[in-house]
Structure 1
Amino acid sequence: MTVGRVTVVAWPAQAGLGVALAEAADRAAPFPGLGPLPRRPIRLILAPSRAVFDSLTRGRLPSWSDGAAFPDPGVVVLLSDRPTVRLSGDLRHELAHLALRWRVGRPLPLWFEEGYAAVAAGEWGRLDALRLNWQLARGRRMDLEEVDAALRGDATDAQTAYALATTAVLLLERWGGERGLGALIARLGPAGGFDAALRQTYHMTEGDFEERWQRDLSSHYGWLAWAQAVGAFWALLGLLMVWLVMLRRRRDRVRRARLDEGWAVPPDDAPTA
């Protein structure tokens, strides 16, 4: 089945899902710092089981992986054993890998590629920030080389590594101002290296960036940020409890008022049963 520039390969039971995802891929929104996907053909393959997914990806990905992108042939493989809204995010993530590689023309540091795809797919949220705060508060820190290794490690390490990679890319995007990542990506052509692009864009080396990124992590995440986030949660919970107590008291007053209506108070010398 072909939708626009996207050819989808799916098992018969998932044909409708395949068409819907192909339509989403063909109409993908612009990517940060890149713009729209180039008008190149894309092959989207849905794997209905983990065994099929591992076979299609030749077992080269960790067991927790749900998607894969092969930029040179323009192929995206998605694990579709549990079709949910998650697939739309996974598709956007893998398309971001295609878009970045097609623009740059060569591999980049893994932390940047995965962090960029996570940013492009909108995967960073309040829960991720809270989880990262907790990990850093516990002393779980990595440098960028360790992040690269953890991105291909077990699920727990990879989860932390994805969060860290995302914060690194978000920092670069923040420094880019209105252009975001555009200026950096424009200098990441085949001729230059990542360090050279950092020097030209932000006037710093990779080592300088890593040092400033670690400082940024310390200032935005960790014990203080975690305590603030948890404190805000308990403050909201406390306000909710106060509101519930006030609501209960108001209801009790109404009930007592209704019970008092028409109730005659007996004289002091009235007989009792």
Structure 2
Amino acid sequence: MRYSTPIITILISIALFLPQFSFSQVSLKTFHFDIHAHDENLSREVKIILESSYRRIVSFLEDSLTDVVSVYVVDSEEEFVSMVGNSFPDWGIGCAIPTRNLIILKSPRRFTYHRPFSQVVTHELAHIFLGKLSQGKRVPRWLDEGFAMYQSQEWRIGQDVAVGRAVLTGSVLPLSQIESVNAFKESKAQLAYTESFLAVSYLYREYGEGTIKELVTHLAHGTSIDLAFMRTIGSNYLSFQLEFEKHIKEKYNWVSFLGDTFLVWIGLAFLIVFLYLLKRRYAKKILKEWELEEQGIKRIDEFTDDQT
């Protein structure tokens, strides 16, 4: 009997870390993943995305995961909340918990995705990789999200406009504020994610692709964030934030928009389409007027014939 208490404690601990589902799910196992979904075809789709993304991130970081990652694709909001908790923002469609090697996704069959499902899957997997690299130590939220977006290649034309608007209206978010992104409304959160992507891209471009790994490795060893930045890029954390903020303010302004050849061509394309539609509408109006005039002439001719 003296062993009963530890055994019960272990069982309770295991139960707390297992997803609390009351239904049977399709399970697909690979060397790296244990995938659960209601739909077998969806499980296979997730497997293909995960394995492809896994190879790409391993190649990028030159590091792999040591444990199998459990992936759950859920069909309802209730199931999602039961796994991620009530504090998760309502605009979220995926969640990664690196300390538990766990990814939870809302099913694309049941929920609306505003970007490709593959990007979301890769995004969450990137969080698992960075969590493993950091060994559970705190990593700035913008760095975590920016790395995930960089790996999933999440960038759309509209994001340029969003950052430009933020610069012109003075509403650029300091990187330190992105720590509270889960409390943001969706539009502000999207700006936070976009800035995170730009910050990580800037680090890679200015200081090399090994920068993130080196920086996170320093943090994993217990180095303060100031010293980690100093050892990695030669300036402290605050200096980098100011440097990055200056960069986006210089890049995303009216002059840069006008000087961006790609955006100019996009603008010209919209202008051409607009002028075409305007011309077409005007032509229809003229034809209608001619038709009415012709009908009027016919009536006059008919009236004249009747009089004679």
TM-score range, shorter chain: 0.7 to 0.9
Distance in 2, matches of 1:37 and 1:89, equals 20
1:29 to 55, 58, 69: 55
Contact 1:132 1:222 in 2 (8 A): no
User: For residues 124 and 151 of structure 1, do their structure 2 counterparts lie closer, same or farther at Cα, with a shift above 3 Å needed?
Assistant: farther
Change (3 A) 1:185 1:24: same
Distance 1:150 1:186 in 2: 24
Asked if 1:159 corresponds to 2:190, the answer is yes
Verify: 1:60 aligned to 2:60, yes or no. Answer: no
Written as runs of structure 1 = structure 2, the 5 A alignment for 1:65-76 is 65-76=92-103
Q: What root-mean-square deviation, in Å, do the aligned CA atoms of Structure 1 and Structure 2 show?
A: 2.7
Deviation at 1:142, TM superposition (A): 1.7
Cα drift, residue 191 of structure 1: 2.2
TM-score, normalising length from structure 2? Answer: 0.71
| 1:217 equivalenced with 2:244 (yes/no) | no
Structure 1 distance, partners of 2:67, 2:264, is 49
**Partner residue, 1:96:** 126
Q: In structure 2, what is the Cα distance between the partners aligned to 1:235 and 1:66?
A: 36
Read off the aligned partner of 2:102 and give its amino acid letter. V
Question: Structure 1 residues 33 and 62 mapped into 2: Cα distance closer, same or farther (>3 Å)?
Answer: same
Aligned-residue sequence identity (percent) comes to 20
Give yes or no for contact 2:138–2:219 (8 Å, CA) kept in 1: no
Is the CA contact 2:72–2:105 (under 8 Å) kept in the aligned structure 1? yes
Task: Note if contact 1:151-1:161 (Cα within 8 Å) is conserved in structure 2.
Answer: no
Q: Which residue of 2 is the match for residue 233 of structure 1?
A: 266
Match of 1:86 among 104, 111, 116: 116
Alpha-carbon distance in structure 2 between the residues aligned to 1:185 and 1:134: 31
Instruction: In structure 2, give the amino acid aligned to 1:124.
Output: W
Q: Does the Cα contact within 8 Å between 2:211 and 2:232 map onto a contact in 1?
A: no
Cα offset, 1:227, TM superposition: 4.3
CA contact (8 A) 1:134 1:223 kept: no
What letter corresponds to residue 90 of structure 2 in structure 1? Answer: S
What whole-Å deviation, never above 9, does each CA across 1:118-174 have from its counterpart, x for those lacking one? 111111233212221123222222212222223531111101111111111111111
Matched, 1:4 2:31: yes
Shift of 1:36: 5.1
Contact 1:42 1:74 (8 Å CA) reproduced: yes
Residue 172 of structure 2: aligned partner: 141
Inter-CA distance 178–46: structure 2 relative to 1 (3 Å threshold): closer
Secondary structure of 2:86 counterpart: coil
Asked whether the 8 Å contact 1:172–1:180 carries over to 2, the reply is yes
Q: TM-score if structure 1 supplies the norm length?
A: 0.79
The answer to which structure, 1 or 2, has the higher relative contact order (CA under 8 A, 6+ apart) is 1
Name the structure where helix makes up a greater proportion of residues.
2
* Residues 78 and 87, structure 1, Cα contact 8 Å, conserved in 2: no
- Cα deviation for residue 15 of structure 1 reads 2.1
For structure 2, which runs of at least 5 residues remain unmatched after alignment? 1-26, 278-308
Q: Residues of 2 paired with 1:63 and 1:232: CA distance?
A: 37
Tell me, in whole angstroms, the C-alpha distance in 1 between the residues paired with 2:111 and 2:181. 26
- SS in structure 2 of the partner of residue 76 of structure 1: strand
